[in-house]
Amino acid sequence: MNRGWLDLAGAVEALDGVELDAALVAGIEAEAPALRDGTNFYTPTFKSYATSELAGCGKSAWPAVSITGGDCALACDHCKAKILEPMIPARTPEDLWRVVNAQIEGGAQGMLLTGGSNHRNEVEYDAYYPVVRRIKDRFPAFKIALHTALVDGGIARRMEDAGIDAAMMDVIGAQDTISQVYHLKRSVADFERSLECLAATSMKCVPHIVIGLHYGRMLGEWEALEIVARHKPAALVLVVVMPFYAPAQRPFVTPDARQVGRFFLDARRRLPDTPLLLGCARPAGRVKAEIDSYAVMAGLNGIAHPADGVVELAVRLGREVRVTPACCSIAVGNEVMALERESGIRVDLQDLIAEQRRRRRGGALAGIPVVAA
């Protein structure tokens, strides 16, 4: 007798205590034939990471570099520039050249390049484009994913000419969120125009939607999804707001995992042929395990830093599992498809469970093959 997905999740030892909504799981399971079969798990190095199933990749494999250090003029309520603080600072073009060379010597294969925004939600990269071009000419295999913020057509073409591989931006679908959370005098239309400009280039366009961005509540996410669908990106990255960055006077609630799961399913339905990826940012603890479980069930193609037990869940659901030590925003499209064709990795469930138990007892690392980025 076939076991339902809720029963399969209940059989995962590491997910003990995680409460999944039975009706939501049943609804997702009913649509399972339309969902994709494979799941990629990503282990970028923006923060330390390891579970009983996966170890993080080497520290230098995928660094995050900020051209403003920890500074940002916006200080949005959900972030307060805290996300920038642990990144490698490169406050001048010369610093960026030195940083990249040092990281490549240490084994880096790519990087996230970002920085704090000005008061118009623009990152001032102008002085850095010649260095980015020099990096790409000198190290053509080195991948660069750029957080673009808002752009116009000219800026998007400069990014393209510099050799940027993947262009990332947050798409916001509610004016109240732009005004209140981002403190911006820009419009939803400005965000769509920026996405349109990026999508018109040869760069991989990888927009992000931050679920729960309006103080932990769902507001403009579905409009953002419609905006993304109109411009056919290379992939869509979904992240979930992390309330612990918020100021005490403007607190966020932790997004409801069931609402997040429903949005995952809606996104899968709306973009059936677009890679959907769950990025690094989301709340920790039990809610993360719930969110990640819904992500696997809803057929998201990739998950960065999966919660403990989620790899086993994917295997129990019959998904082919791969692990890539890279940022999910760069490991999309042709690169990952090529890796999949060459490797054909499949994780054996019994071997996985045995390795998990050994590792929990202090034994060796889990035996999941890792695809080199």
**Tally of residues, the chain:** 373
List Cβ neighbours of 354 (8 Å cut-off, separation of 6 or more): none
Distance of CA 230 to the CA centre of its chain: 21
Angstrom CA distances, 286 to 27, 154, 293, 319, 343, stand at: 22, 44, 11, 23, 33
pLDDT of residue 116: 95
Residue 370 lies in a domain: no
Residue 287 lies in a domain: yes
Distance of CA 293 to the CA centre of its chain: 16
List, for residues 329-348, the tens digit of each pLDDT value.
444 433 332 223 333 344 55
List Cβ neighbours of 285 (8 Å cut-off, separation of 6 or more): none
List Cβ neighbours of 371 (8 Å cut-off, separation of 6 or more): 322, 323, 324, 325, 339, 343, 345
Residue 367 lies in a domain: no
Residue 48 lies in domain: 5-360
Asked whether the beta carbons of 114 and 79 are under 8 A apart, the reply is no
| Reported confidence tier of residue 369, pLDDT bands at 50, 70, 90 | very low
By DSSP bridging, strand 110-114 and strand 143-147 are parallel
Residue 278 lies in a domain: yes
Asked whether the beta carbons of 87 and 71 are under 8 A apart, the reply is no
Q: Tell me the average pLDDT of the chain.
A: 84
Maximal CA-CA distance, the chain: 64
DSSP letter, residue 53:
S
CATH of the domain at 313: 3.20.20.70
| Reported confidence tier of residue 361, pLDDT bands at 50, 70, 90 | low
Q: Is 141 exposed, middle or buried (0-12, 13-18, 19+ CB in 10 A)?
A: exposed
Residue 371 lies in a domain: no
pLDDT of residue 108: 87
Give the strand order in the sheet containing 302-304: 88-89, 64-66, 110-114, 143-147, 166-170, 204-211, 236-240, 276-278, 302-304, 38-42, 320-324
Most confident of 29-38, 340-349, 357-366: 29-38
Residue 366 lies in a domain: no
Residue 372 lies in a domain: no
Angstrom CA distances, 182 to 169, 191, 245, 316, 338, stand at: 14, 13, 14, 41, 38
How far apart (Å, rounded) are the C-alpha atoms in residues 42 and 63?
14
Beta strand extents in 226-284 (DSSP E only) = 236-240, 276-278
% of residues, the chain, pLDDT over 90? 62
Asked whether the beta carbons of 234 and 227 are under 8 A apart, the reply is no
Domain count, the chain: 1
List Cβ neighbours of 128 (8 Å cut-off, separation of 6 or more): 67, 93, 96, 113
More confident call, 3 vs 171: 171
Residue 368 lies in a domain: no
Instruction: Find tokens 């040869």 and name the residue.
Output: 202
Is the pLDDT score of 283 beyond 60?
Answer: yes
Asked whether the beta carbons of 322 and 230 are under 8 A apart, the reply is no
pLDDT of residue 355: 59
How far apart (Å, rounded) are the C-alpha atoms in residues 238 and 78?
15
How far apart (Å, rounded) are the C-alpha atoms in residues 34 and 30?
9
